[in-house]
Chain A
Amino acid sequence: MDYPIDTSGQFLAISSVLTGFSAIELQGTGSADAIWATATTIVGAPILGDLLTDCGELFEKSKDIDALEAAFAKRVIADPRYGPVAKNFIGAWYTGVWAALPSAWCDAYGASGSDGTFVISPTVYKSGLQWKAFGGTPRGGVPTGHGAWNRPPLTPINTNAPKP
């Protein structure tokens, strides 16, 4: 499968595999730069660079999205070095929260002192994929009009979600 040549495009491409949302939808949230910058500060450019390069290999070798997801499960999520970082990307895209990396990971690979569990920014929180996924909006953050809470969500819940 095709893999972009620029870093931000590559980050969107791997994020798309990790989250199940298209790269364009992820771009639409406007959160990519903030999440990438947070990860760069905490995880560091060398590990992220390796992650993007290795993912590129997985894209090249995979014929379709199913094969690519299987490859990601094996080579990224299950990988001791990449796994916790990739999981944090999923969490950040969905909830806007960067979770503190496991201490074992920090002992092995060294995270920056700014690691911890925190909301990346109010905007990233509001644009979180969790709201899109269930057709809701963050309370108090994204107004939906008077009385809208009394009605079912405008977007039907995605029952077509990928198999666990």
Chain B
Amino acid sequence: MSLTHKFAELVRAIEPQDGAAQTMPLVPLRKPRQIPDADSLRDHLQIALELELSTLPPYLTAMASIVDGTNLDVSGLIRSVMMEEMLHMVLAANVLNAIGGNPVLAKKGVAPEYPTALPDSDGSFLVSVEPLSLGAIQTFMRIEQPTPKHTPAKADGYATIGQFYAAIMEAIVRLSKKGEIRFDHNPGRQVSPSDYYNGHGNVIRVHDSYSAIEALKEITHQGEGNDDTIFESGHVVDGVGYELAHYYRFMEINLGRRFNEGDTPESGPTGALLPVDWSSVKNMISNPKRGWFTADDPRGKLMDECNHSWAMLLRELQAGFRGDKQGIHRAIPWMMKLKYQAQALMNVPSGIAGMMLGPSFEWPEEV
């Protein structure tokens, strides 16, 4: 049989026979699963908390890997994003607390093991604890990637963080209309602007569905921008200009150029050069693990100390989100210490491929 005949036979085989088309069952188009009830909404807000948390170690490590006194602009940009991720945790916790949830941070398994997919995402990319590099910055951009217009909200297996928060916001509106959620739980736990100050963005107390939406919008706008603009939603910082959304701050580093006022996502950055010295970075091994070393190895002990600070940071934050608001203030020195300990590890040879150690952000066994 010639190839042409074979092809014709194949076409006949898959073409529906007379009348068959009507009886073939149609595969129903599945609507993305919505967040069904209050319990599920609380679960998703806990995941939001974990999602914001999971970005801290990669950002902190990239910043700590910069050789002291070099790449000041890059370090400042990453630091500014990191401080806002802290704010995002505060905002997510405020929403979670208002609807009667209980934020969990200080527990093994809440913070991910690296490399990791973003919590509950579609797993299309992995995030590592690694030194600053072009690749790392591009991963950061992927984390903060804007959601294209008309993209459906997605509660589970999201491709962008915006999709995930859109699903949460949709559920908040729907469930509060149906009277299935209230926002008056544990008002004493609401973190307010007077409890938390870092100069980046607004702390919003959540007491109704409007303030809940406002808090979540603050998160997505800071991350990916808003309505085709590179800026956060109109934030004037110190009266000197607008603040870039995280995605575009990382884009500045990626392209080595600053944005100008008037630039758009399409134009890209047209401002001054942003020189990045990719070689003034510690030669740290990616995703180091405590388990590489025996219990009494001094390198392992140094990693233990670093992980202790990580655990303390999580404990203090959790306390801060559960009514002991001073916990948030107590968490900051631990974060700074964590950075210094990470920098110390980056001076210590790992014994592998001539590379240095780094922080592993593991939950210590003894805590």
Chain A contacts to B: CB under 8 angstroms: 22-25, 27-30, 123, 142-148, 151, 154
Contacts and interface: CB of A to CB of B under 8 A. Distances in A.
B333 A27 contact: no
B332 A28 contact: no
Given A22-B298, A24-B298, A146-B197, A30 B344 contact: yes
Majority-rule SS of B interface residues: helix
A148 B332 contact: yes
* Closest 9 pairs between A and B when the two form their complex, measured CB to CB: A28-B344, A145-B332, A24-B298, A30-B347, A148-B333, A22-B298, A145-B333, A144-B333, A27-B348
Nearest to A148: B333
A134 B239 CA distance: 41
Interface stretch (B26-34, B37-45, B148-156, B334-342): B334-342
Contacts of B344: 25, 28-30
Contacts of B337: 144, 154
Interface residues of B, number: 24
Contacts of A151: 330, 333
Contacts of A27: 347-349
**Most central of A24, A29, A143, A147 by chain B CB within 10 Å:** A24
B347 A145 contact: no
Given A24-B301, A24-B348, 13 more contacts: A22-B298, A22-B301, A25-B302, A27-B347, A28-B302, A28-B345, A30-B347, A145-B336, A147-B329, A148-B332, A154-B312, A154-B333, A154-B337
A23 B68 CA distance: 22
Contacts of B330: 151
Main DSSP-derived SS at the A contact region: loop
A144 B331 CA distance: 10
Interface in B303-356: 309, 312, 329-330, 332-337, 340, 343-345, 347-349
22 contacts: A22-B301, A23-B298, A24-B348, A25-B298, A25-B302, A27-B347, A27-B348, A27-B349, A28-B345, A30-B343, A30-B347, A142-B336, A143-B336, A145-B329, A145-B333, A145-B336, A146-B329, A146-B332, A147-B329, A148-B333, A151-B333, A154-B312
B299 interface: yes
Contacts of A22: 298, 301
Given A28-B347, A28-B348, A29-B344, A144 B197 contact: no
A144 B330 CA distance: 10
B207 to A, nearest CB: 27
A154 B309 CA distance: 9
A124 B349 CA distance: 19
Centre residue among A27, A142, A144 by max chain B CB count within 10 A: A27
Given A24-B302, A123-B68, A145 B348 contact: no
Contact of B334 (A143, A146, A154): A154
Interface in B217-254: none
A91 B348 CA distance: 22
B16 to A, nearest CB: 69
B334 A142 contact: no
A30 B65 CA distance: 13
Nearest to B330: A151
A131 to B, nearest CB: 10
Contacts of B69: 123
B340 A145 contact: no
Q: Which of B302, B309, B332, B347 neighbours the largest number of chain A CB atoms within 10 Å of its CB?
A: B347
Contacts of B343: 30
A147 B337 CA distance: 15
Interface string B269-306: 00000000000000000000000000000110110000
A28 B299 CA distance: 10
A150 to B, nearest CB: 9
Contacts of B301: 22, 24
A147 B68 CA distance: 24
Contacts of A123: 68-69
A27 B345 CA distance: 9
A23 B329 CA distance: 34
A63 to B, nearest CB: 19
A14 B298 CA distance: 16
A145 B68 CA distance: 18
A142 B340 CA distance: 9
